[in-house]
């Protein structure tokens, strides 16, 4: 038994990324304690405009596995799992590592809250969950301020 190409479900990645991006844009706000800092929520790497606070919905690492040992390859046959990476990048001029880290962590916590608010990501996936975070801290390249980067990983699962 075969399944016509048009009946094979598409990947959920595009819908999941779009849902997260839209909800981050409407949830995240500029830092009220740093009036000169601006916030950018980017789909992918930011372009030439790079304000002090950047949250980017970025890379996806995907795997497939059969969900069923028998069947036609149609709907419900394939298990799609992927990790969506969201990067929080915060810069503050001067030497305030605690304040810079606190702002980056506040943005990361809001990213986690957005995912937890609807683990189906608007129906795009069967389950999404925050899975990890890697923190990097230090001086910026010119030693004029502090820089914190947090790479968040969101695990997603969809039976397609």
Closest CA to 4 of 54, 52, 74, 109: 74
Provide the whole-model pTM.
0.92
**CB count in 10 Å sphere of residue 61:** 10
| Structural domain harbouring 80 | 9-159
Predicted confidence (pLDDT) at residue 7 exceeds the cutoff of 90: no
- What's the CATH code of the domain at 59? 3.30.70.1700
Q: For the segment 42-53, what is each residue's pLDDT rounded down to a tens digit?
A: 999 999 999 999
Q: Looking at per-residue confidence, does 75 or 45 come out higher?
A: 45
For residue 150, tell me if it sits in a domain. Answer: yes
For residue 1, tell me if it sits in a domain. Answer: no
For residue 56, tell me if it sits in a domain. Answer: yes
Overall number of domains in the chain? 1
Q: Looking at per-residue confidence, does 50 or 68 come out higher?
A: 50
For residue 4, tell me if it sits in a domain. Answer: no
Q: For the segment 93-129, what is each residue's pLDDT rounded down to a tens digit?
A: 999 999 999 999 999 999 999 999 999 999 999 999 9
């Amino acid at each position: 038994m075969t399944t016509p190409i048009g009946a094979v479900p598409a990947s959920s990645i595009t819908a999941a990324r779009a849902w997260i991006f839209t909800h981050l844009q409407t949830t995240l706000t500029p830092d009220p304690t740093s009036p000169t800092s601006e916030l950018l929520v980017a789909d992918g790497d930011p372009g030439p405009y790079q304000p002090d606070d950047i949250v980017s919905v970025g890379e996806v690492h995907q795997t497939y596995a059969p969900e069923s040992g028998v069947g036609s390859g149609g709907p419900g046959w394939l298990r799609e799992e992927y990790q969506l990476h969201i990067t929080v990048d915060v810069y503050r001029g001067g030497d305030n590592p605690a304040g810079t880290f606190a702002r980056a962590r506040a943005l990361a916590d809001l990213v986690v809250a957005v995912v937890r608010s609807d683990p189906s990501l608007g129906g795009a996936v069967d389950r999404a969950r925050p899975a990890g975070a890697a923190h990097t801290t230090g001086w910026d390249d010119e030693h004029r301020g502090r820089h914190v980067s947090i790479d968040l990983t969101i695990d997603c699962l969809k039976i397609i």
